[in-house]
């Protein structure tokens, strides 16, 4: 059996609606108020500036950078506070974390900046479930969950890749990448459209999959 179970955050534990509201409604609204543009025009300009930077740059994920870039007067903390009511966890989350917390070391591994993680964990009450929380962007300056990102987590946790299970909703960064390192990864497809031994549509499926892995491993070692 593994020692550590790692969970992605947005799209896995928490509905990504909150982040969409901050980036695509909150910041454009503040910019529209600042320069006197209609919201849709301001949003088009803001999104264009996002795209100029691109997902490959660390600034893409840094809300402090964008507040400085657009010279917005309201604080980013106040803006996030405005949309806290948009933070919602999926129905299966509390159940599975309660079931696993006493048997495994639980960690959160997210692409999101620490600013977003802190607000979402506090609003959902999930922070108490996790022994460690890692942000690829804030902690390691990585714009994606790379092999190096997972290697550093293994080192920090003093765990071999084979002792870690990771679960997330991004096929490449939550499934393919960790598997190249030897981490047992599950791809969470909440739509139920995908299938396979590595695919789950509900987090509650993890327990059964872990038991299957344990039984298969025991059988091979006999």
**Which is nearest to 166 in space by CA: 137, 187, 140?**
187
CATH 3.40.50.1000 fits 4-16+88-220, yes or no: yes
Q: How far is CA 163 from the centre of its chain?
A: 21
Give pLDDT, residue 218: 44
- Helix (H) or strand (E) segment spanning residue 205: helix 205-220
Q: What is the pLDDT of residue 191?
A: 85
Picking from 21, 137, 134, the residue whose alpha carbon sits closest to that of residue 86 is: 21
CA distance 40 to 38: 6
Buried/exposed code over 149-159 (b: 16+ C-beta within 10 A; e: otherwise): bbebbbeebeb
Select from 17, 27, 57 the least CA-distant residue to 142.
Answer: 57
Mean pLDDT of all residues in the chain? 93
Percent share of the chain, pLDDT over 90: 85
Q: How many Å apart are CA 138 and CA 186, to the nearest integer?
A: 24
213 falls in which pLDDT band (50, 70, 90)?
A: low
Average pLDDT over residues 191-204: 88
Stated as kind and residue range, the H or E segment containing 96 is helix 93-100
Domain boundaries, the chain: 4-16+88-220, 17-85
Residues with Cβ within 8 Å of residue 96, at least 6 apart in sequence: 203, 204, 206, 207
What CA–CA distance (Å, rounded) separates 197 from 208? 11
Does position 148 have pLDDT exceeding 90, yes or no?
yes
pLDDT in tens, 75-94: 999 999 999 999 999 999 99
pLDDT on residue 216: 55
Residue 134, token pair as written in the block: 């890692």
What is the average per-residue pLDDT within 101-126? 96
- Average pLDDT of the residues in 157-186: 96
Lowest mean pLDDT among 98-107, 186-195, 204-213: 204-213
Instruction: With 0.75 as the threshold, say if the pTM is over it.
Output: yes
Average pLDDT for 129-142: 96
């Amino acid at each position: 059996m593994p020692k550590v179970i790692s969970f992605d955050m947005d799209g896995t534990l928490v509905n990504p609606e909150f982040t969409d509201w901050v980036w695509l409604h909150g910041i454009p609204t503040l910019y529209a108020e600042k320069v006197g543009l209609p919201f849709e025009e301001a949003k088009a300009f803001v999104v264009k500036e996002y795209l100029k930077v691109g997902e490959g740059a660390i600034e893409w994920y840094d809300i402090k950078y964008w507040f400085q870039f657009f010279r917005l007067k309201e604080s980013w903390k106040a803006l996030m506070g405005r949309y806290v009511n948009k933070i919602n966890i999926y129905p299966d989350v509390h159940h599975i974390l309660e079931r696993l917390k006493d048997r495994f070391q639980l960690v959160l591994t997210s692409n999101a900046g620490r600013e977003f993680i802190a607000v979402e964990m506090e609003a959902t009450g999930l922070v108490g479930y996790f022994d460690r929380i890692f942000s690829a962007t804030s902690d390691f300056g990585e714009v994606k969950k790379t092999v190096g990102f997972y290697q550093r987590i293994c080192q920090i946790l003093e765990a071999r890749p084979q002792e870690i299970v990771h679960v997330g909703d991004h096929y490449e960064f939550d499934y393919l990448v960790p598997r190249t390192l030897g981490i047992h990864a599950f791809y969470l497809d909440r739509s139920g459209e995908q299938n396979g031994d590595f695919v789950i549509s509900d987090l509650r499926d993890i327990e059964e999959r872990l038991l299957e892995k344990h039984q298969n491993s025991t059988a091979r070692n006999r």
